[in-house]
C-alpha cells in the first residue's frame, strides 16, 4: 500500500470498530501530518479516498467528519408493487384522524411531519421581519401582488443559478407555502375527473390535493433509495390518459428516496415525449447530507414542462408559509390561479426573507442544519437497530429527515400507532401514504428532532410493542 492508502485503511478500521463514531471530526491535516510523520498531500489523498468510499464527508471551513451513514444491520426495503388501476380518492378523513394525534407537545414526535423548530434562526428572521414591517413601502402592498416580491424572486433565481439551472424571476410565483403551490399547479393542468401519476408510497398532502380537486390517481412503483420506477411510469403513460405527474425526486416523504441524476434526466425526456408536465414537490432538496446537492431538475428541463415547487418551511422558516413555483411554460396560468385563489402572499414576510437571503448567512445555516440532521439520523438508526426485530427493513436516506421502515410481516401499523399513542409516542403509519391504504406493515419515523434519552426510550418502547 502507498502511504495515503495505509492511512485511509487505518482510519477506516477505527470507524468500523466504533472508535471514530458518526459525527466525529477527523484529525486536521496538520495534526495528521505531525502524528504520522507524513506530508499534507498524503493526508489529503487519504481523506479524499475515505470520502469517495462514503465513510467521511468534508464540511467547508470545518474539516472532515465521519459520515452518519454506518448502520447496516437491517436490510433495505424492496421496490413497491401497488395495484395498477386508477383510484378515486377518499383519504382526507382518515389522514386527519391520524394527524390530529401528533399535535400534542407532550407526545414524542416520531410521527411528526416537521423538524424541530429550534433548528432554525428564528431570532434573526424575526429581526428581518420587524425591519420589513417598519420600513414597508406602501406601494409594495400593490407592486408585490402575484407573482410576488421582485427581490425575493431575484434571490430565488440566483439560488437556481447556483444549482446549474437558468430560471428567470418572471417564471417564479410566490405562494403561501408549498401546499398552495401544489394545488395551483394541479389546477393549471388538470380538470375534475382527470388522472395523475403519483409515487407509491407518496406524501399524503398530494393525495389530499388530488381528492379536493376531484382527480383520480395511478400509483407508480418506487424504490426506497432510487425513487420512482421509470419502466413502470412509461408503461402507465402508454396505457392511461395521465395528465400530470406529481413526484418528489429529492428525499421523498415518506421513504427518503432520491432519484439519481442520470435517471432524473431520463424522466424529463420521457415526459417530454408524452407531453406530460411534471409537478415536482421539492421541499427537502437543501437538506442533503453529502457535500454536493442533487441535480436540479430545472437544469435539465429545456422545454419548461417542470413545475418546481418548494418552500422555506423545512429548511429555514417554519411557520412563515412562504413557498414558490418555478413554473416554466405554465407561469401565466399559475399566476392567474394564484390571483383567483388567495390574491397574494403576505408582503412583509416576503420582504423579510428576501433580506435574509441577501444578508443573513443562509449557506452557513444550511451547513449547520445538514450536519445536525445527519447526526440525528445516525442516532435514530442506532436505536432502531438496537431495539427493533432483526427482520425489520430500513431505508437509509441521503438527506431530509424521515426514515421508512418495513416492519415484520403480520405487523399492523395502525394498531401499533394506537398502542404507541397510549405510551405517549407518535408514529406515522404506512396506510396514510397510499391512495388504497396499502403499506399496512410500514411506518415513517422523523429524525428532525434531537433523540435524547426520551426519544431513545420511545424507540425501545416501540421495539417492545413490536
Residue 369 and residue 358 share a domain? no
Residue 316 CA to chain centroid, in angstroms? 13
Question: Looking at 362, 382, 406, which one is the last position of a domain?
Answer: 362
Residue 205 and residue 155 share a domain? yes
Q: Which residues contact 453 (CB under 8 A, 6 or more apart)?
A: none
What was the pLDDT predicted at 57?
85
Task: Indicate whether 456 belongs to any domain.
Answer: yes
Residue 109 and residue 95 share a domain? yes
What was the pLDDT predicted at 91?
63
Structural contact between residues 28 and 63, judged by C-beta atoms closer than 8 angstroms: yes
Residue 320 and residue 340 share a domain? yes
Q: Tally the domains of the chain.
A: 3
Question: Looking at 328, 362, 396, which one is the last position of a domain?
Answer: 362
Residue 177 and residue 324 share a domain? yes
Return the bridge partners of 58, or none: 64
Residue 266 and residue 135 share a domain? yes
pLDDT, one tens digit for every residue, the chain (466 residues) = 689 888 988 998 888 777 888 888 999 999 999 999 999 999 999 998 888 666 888 888 889 998 865 555 788 888 888 866 666 656 666 667 666 766 777 899 999 999 999 999 999 999 999 999 999 999 998 888 899 999 999 999 999 999 999 999 999 999 999 999 999 999 999 999 999 999 999 999 899 899 999 999 999 999 999 999 999 999 999 999 999 999 999 999 999 999 999 999 999 999 999 999 999 999 999 999 877 789 999 999 999 999 999 999 999 999 999 999 999 999 999 999 999 989 889 999 999 999 999 997 999 999 889 988 988 998 899 899 999 999 999 998 989 999 999 999 999 999 999 999 999 999 999 999 998 889 999 999 999 999 999 999 999 999 999 9
Strand runs labelled E in 184-317: 195-200, 216-223, 227-228, 242-247, 278-281, 306-311
Residue 281 and residue 403 share a domain? no
Question: Domain holding 379: CATH number?
Answer: 3.90.1150.10
Task: Indicate whether 73 belongs to any domain.
Answer: no
The Cα–Cα gap between 292 and 248 comes to 18
Task: Indicate whether 207 belongs to any domain.
Answer: yes
The Cα–Cα gap between 268 and 275 comes to 10
Question: Domain holding 251: CATH number?
Answer: 3.40.640.10
Please give the angle made by the CA atoms of 287, 405 and 87, to the nearest 5 degrees. Answer: 90
Q: Which residues contact 345 (CB under 8 A, 6 or more apart)?
A: 146, 148, 174, 175, 176, 321, 322
Angle, helices 177-189 vs 331-341, to 10°: value is 120
The Cα–Cα gap between 262 and 294 comes to 11
Task: Indicate whether 83 belongs to any domain.
Answer: no
Return the bridge partners of 88, or none: 216
Domain limits for position 28: 3-66
Residue 380 and residue 270 share a domain? no
Return the bridge partners of 217, or none: 87, 196
What was the pLDDT predicted at 367?
87
φ, ψ (nearest 5 deg) of residue 164: 85, 10
What was the pLDDT predicted at 21?
84
Helix (H), strand (E) counts: the chain? 16, 15
What was the pLDDT predicted at 289?
84
Question: Looking at 334, 362, 390, which one is the last position of a domain?
Answer: 362
Our CA dihedral for 183, 186, 191, 196, rounded to 10 degrees, sits at: -130
What was the pLDDT predicted at 71?
54
Residue 194 and residue 310 share a domain? yes
Cell 470498530 belongs to 17
The Cα–Cα gap between 156 and 145 comes to 17
Task: Indicate whether 306 belongs to any domain.
Answer: yes
* Selection from 224, 216, 250, 246 nearest residue 233 by Cα: 246
Length of the chain: 466
Task: Indicate whether 78 belongs to any domain.
Answer: no
What was the pLDDT predicted at 85?
61
Task: Indicate whether 411 belongs to any domain.
Answer: yes
What was the pLDDT predicted at 124?
95
With b for 16 or more beta-carbon neighbours within 10 A and e for fewer, the 77-93 pattern comes to beebebeeebbebebee
Instruction: Enter the DSSP assignment of 412.
Output: -
Angle, helices 204-212 vs 177-189, to 10°: value is 50
Task: Indicate whether 72 belongs to any domain.
Answer: no
Instruction: Enter the DSSP assignment of 300.
Output: G
Query: How many CB atoms sit inside 10 A of residue 119's CB?
Result: 20
* Selection from 390, 448, 398 nearest residue 75 by Cα: 390
Residue 103 and residue 48 share a domain? no
Question: Domain holding 27: CATH number?
Answer: 1.10.10.10
What was the pLDDT predicted at 423?
95
The Cα–Cα gap between 366 and 262 comes to 25
Residue 378 and residue 284 share a domain? no
**Residue 415 has which C-alpha cell?**
394498531
Structural contact between residues 318 and 163, judged by C-beta atoms closer than 8 angstroms: no
Residue 138 and residue 13 share a domain? no
Amino acid at each position: 500500500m502507498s502511504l495515503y492508502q495505509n492511512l485511509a485503511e487505518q482510519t477506516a478500521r477505527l470507524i468500523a470498530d466504533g472508535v471514530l463514531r458518526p459525527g466525529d471530526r477527523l484529525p486536521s491535516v496538520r495534526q495528521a501530518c505531525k502524528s504520522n510523520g507524513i506530508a499534507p498531500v498524503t493526508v489529503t489523498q487519504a481523506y479524499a479516498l475515505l470520502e469517495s468510499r462514503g465513510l467521511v464527508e468534508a464540511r467547508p471551513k470545518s474539516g472532515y467528519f465521519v459520515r452518519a451513514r454506518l448502520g447496516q444491520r437491517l436490510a433495505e426495503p424492496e421496490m413497491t408493487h401497488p395495484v395498477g388501476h386508477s383510484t378515486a380518492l377518499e383519504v382526507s378523513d382518515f389522514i386527519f384522524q391520524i394527524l390530529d394525534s401528533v399535535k400534542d407537545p407532550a407526545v414524542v414526535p416520531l410521527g411528526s411531519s416537521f423538524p424541530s423548530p429550534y433548528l432554525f434562526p428564528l431570532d434573526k428572521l424575526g429581526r428581518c421581519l420587524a425591519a420589513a414591517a417598519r420600513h414597508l413601502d406602501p406601494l409594495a402592498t400593490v407592486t408585490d401582488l402575484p407573482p410576488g416580491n421582485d427581490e425575493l424572486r431575484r434571490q430565488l433565481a440566483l439560488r437556481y443559478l447556483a444549482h446549474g439551472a437558468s430560471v428567470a424571476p418572471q417564471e417564479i410565483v410566490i405562494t403561501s407555502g408549498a401546499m398552495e403551490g401544489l394545488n395551483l399547479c394541479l389546477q393549471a393542468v388538470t380538470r375534475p375527473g382527470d388522472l395523475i401519476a403519483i409515487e407509491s408510497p407518496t406524501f399524503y398532502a398530494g393525495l389530499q390535493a388530488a381528492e379536493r380537486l376531484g382527480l383520480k390517481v395511478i400509483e407508480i412503483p418506487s424504490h426506497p433509495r432510487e425513487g420512482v420506477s421509470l419502466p413502470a411510469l412509461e408503461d402507465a403513460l402508454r396505457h392511461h390518459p395521465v395528465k400530470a405527474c406529481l413526484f418528489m425526486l429529492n428525499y421523498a416523504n415518506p421513504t427518503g428516496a432520491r432519484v439519481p441524476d442520470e435517471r432524473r434526466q431520463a424522466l424529463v425526456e420521457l415526459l417530454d415525449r408524452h407531453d406530460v408536465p411534471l409537478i415536482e414537490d421539492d421541499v427537502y432538496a437543501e437538506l442533503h447530507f453529502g457535500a454536493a446537492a442533487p441535480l436540479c431538475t430545472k437544469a435539465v428541463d429545456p422545454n419548461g414542462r417542470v413545475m418546481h415547487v418548494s418552500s422555506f418551511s423545512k429548511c429555514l422558516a417554519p411557520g412563515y408559509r412562504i413557498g414558490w413555483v418555478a413554473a416554466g411554460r405554465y407561469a401565466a396560468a399559475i399566476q392567474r390561479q394564484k390571483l383567483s385563489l388567495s390574491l397574494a402572499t403576505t408582503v412583509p414576510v416576503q420582504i423579510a426573507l428576501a433580506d435574509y437571503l441577501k444578508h443573513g448567512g443562509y449557506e452557513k445555516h444550511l451547513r449547520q442544519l445538514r450536519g445536525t440532521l445527519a447526526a440525528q439520523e445516525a442516532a435514530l438508526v442506532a436505536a432502531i437497530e438496537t431495539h427493533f426485530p432483526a427482520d425489520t427493513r430500513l431505508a437509509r436516506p441521503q438527506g431530509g429527515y424521515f426514515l421508512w421502515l418495513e416492519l415484520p410481516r403480520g405487523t399492523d401499523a395502525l394498531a401499533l400507532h394506537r398502542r404507541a399513542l397510549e405510551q405517549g409516542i407518535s408514529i406515522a403509519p404506512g396506510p396514510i401514504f397510499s391512495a388504497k391504504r396499502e403499506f399496512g406493515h410500514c411506518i415513517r419515523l422523523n429524525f428532525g428532532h434531537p433523540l435524547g434519552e426520551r426519544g431513545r426510550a420511545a424507540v425501545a418502547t416501540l421495539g417492545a410493542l413490536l
